[in-house]
Amino acid sequence: MTTAEILRYTQETGDFSRMLDGIPYAGFIGLQCERFGDDLIFRLPRKDSNIGNPILPAIHGGVIGGFMELSAAIYLMMSQDVLRMPRIVDFSLDYLRAGLDRETFAECRLTRQGNRVANVMVTAWQKSRSQPIATARAHFLLED
């Protein structure tokens, strides 16, 4: 299947397995995605190889950042009417508290989409949405 066919299949069925199988880093960290109506919730399951600080233990900051950036890109692809791959231009991440060794979630919100550029806000949390572990802003270049 081509990228466009995989994206179309995912948009139509809500089955993210083919898309995520084609992204090696998603498989490496264990990223999962589920659709609830029009909302997408991204999940990073607890995984020993994602630990950066074994003393706390806490998830490696790079894993949290990669999880959030990849979530934003997938969210943007799923929210577009035109099938095109976004390219990251800028990614700004604020760590708010330690991401402990437990399941982590992320949700995204499209804040601006023009013909060439889109901006996505990402919030990651563990036990409660009201206590995020990190927030991020991602800017993407949309290609035809």
Q: What is the pLDDT of residue 90?
A: 96
* Whether pLDDT at 3 is above 80: no
Q: In the numeric block, which tokens belong to residue 79?
A: 């929210």
Q: What is the mean pLDDT of the chain?
A: 92
Phi/psi for 30 (5° steps) reads: 90, 20
Half-sphere exposure for 60 (CA within 13 Å, toward CB): 11
Say what percent of the chain tops pLDDT 70.
96
Q: What is the pLDDT of residue 113?
A: 84
Q: Are 134 and 124 in contact (CB under 8 A)?
A: yes
List domains and CATH numbers for the chain: 3-142 (3.10.129.10)
Phi/psi for 79 (5° steps) reads: -95, -5
Q: What is the pLDDT of residue 81?
A: 65
Give residue 67's identity as a one-letter amino acid code. F
Q: What is the pLDDT of residue 26?
A: 95
Q: What is the pLDDT of residue 83?
A: 66
Is pLDDT larger for residue 22 or for residue 45? Answer: 45
Is pLDDT larger for residue 83 or for residue 137? Answer: 137
| pLDDT tens per residue, range 45-89 | 999 999 999 999 999 999 999 999 999 999 998 887 666 678 999
Is pLDDT larger for residue 84 or for residue 112? Answer: 112
Mean pLDDT of 40-47: 97
Q: What is the pLDDT of residue 84?
A: 67
